[in-house]
């Protein structure tokens, strides 16, 4: 992975943590850098970005400090998604809310135009990008 792409990954992660950028902005920057998908592990506090050629890069992010319950609430995740889309909360509060709903991580597929949030038992909630379905 070249240094310019790596810099975009680090900046997107940092800008999200610092709440300087929105999810749609992050997606556009990652698409521009050639990223196909990424995985956010909320418990390990890291994001792993994947390129179509198989290369990947792990980037540490800010710890959230919430221990997700064993039960997964798709409705709780959906409520957090709606709140951040409406501008009622920012990224840290979003992470806290999805974790309180039992989410331990999520996958974002730029190619598939969706995010998949999952819990400790594999239960999941699919959130399509606006206008994608």
Task: Confirm whether 103 is domain-assigned.
Answer: yes
Which range of residues forms the domain containing residue 83? Answer: 3-128
- Cβ contacts of residue 60 below 8 Å, gap of 6+? 13, 45, 46
Element (H, E) at 3: helix 3-17
Domain CATH number, residue 78:
3.30.1810.10
If one counts the domains in the chain, the total is: 1
Task: Confirm whether 133 is domain-assigned.
Answer: no
Task: Indicate if the alpha-carbon torsion angle 78, 15, 45, 40 is positive or negative.
Answer: positive
- Cβ contacts of residue 14 below 8 Å, gap of 6+? none
Q: How far apart are CA 105 and CA 38, in angstroms?
A: 11
Contact 37, 111 (CB under 8 A): yes
- At 21, list the tokens: 């950028």
Task: Confirm whether 11 is domain-assigned.
Answer: yes
Task: Confirm whether 32 is domain-assigned.
Answer: yes
Task: Confirm whether 99 is domain-assigned.
Answer: yes
Task: Confirm whether 91 is domain-assigned.
Answer: yes
pTM (predicted TM-score): 0.94
Q: Tens place of pLDDT for every residue, the chain, 133 residues?
A: 899 999 999 999 999 999 999 999 999 999 999 999 999 999 999 999 999 999 999 999 999 999 999 999 999 999 999 999 999 999 999 999 999 999 999 999 999 999 999 999 999 999 999 877 7
- Indicate the SS3 state at residue 104: strand
């Amino acid at each position: 992975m070249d240094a310019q792409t790596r810099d975009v990954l680090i900046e997107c992660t940092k800008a999200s943590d610092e709440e300087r950028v929105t999810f749609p902005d992050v997606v556009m920057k990652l698409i521009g850098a050639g990223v196909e998908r990424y995985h956010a592990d909320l418990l390990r506090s890291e994001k792993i970005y994947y390129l179509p050629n198989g290369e990947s890069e792990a980037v540490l992010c800010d710890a959230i400090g919430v221990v997700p319950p064993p039960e997964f609430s798709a409705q709780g995740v959906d409520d957090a998604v709606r709140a951040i889309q409406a501008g009622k909360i920012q990224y840290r509060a979003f992470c806290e809310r999805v974790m309180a709903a039992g989410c331990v991580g999520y996958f974002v597929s730029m190619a598939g135009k969706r995010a998949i949030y999952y819990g400790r038992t594999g239960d999941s909630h699919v959130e399509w990008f606006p206008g994608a379905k």
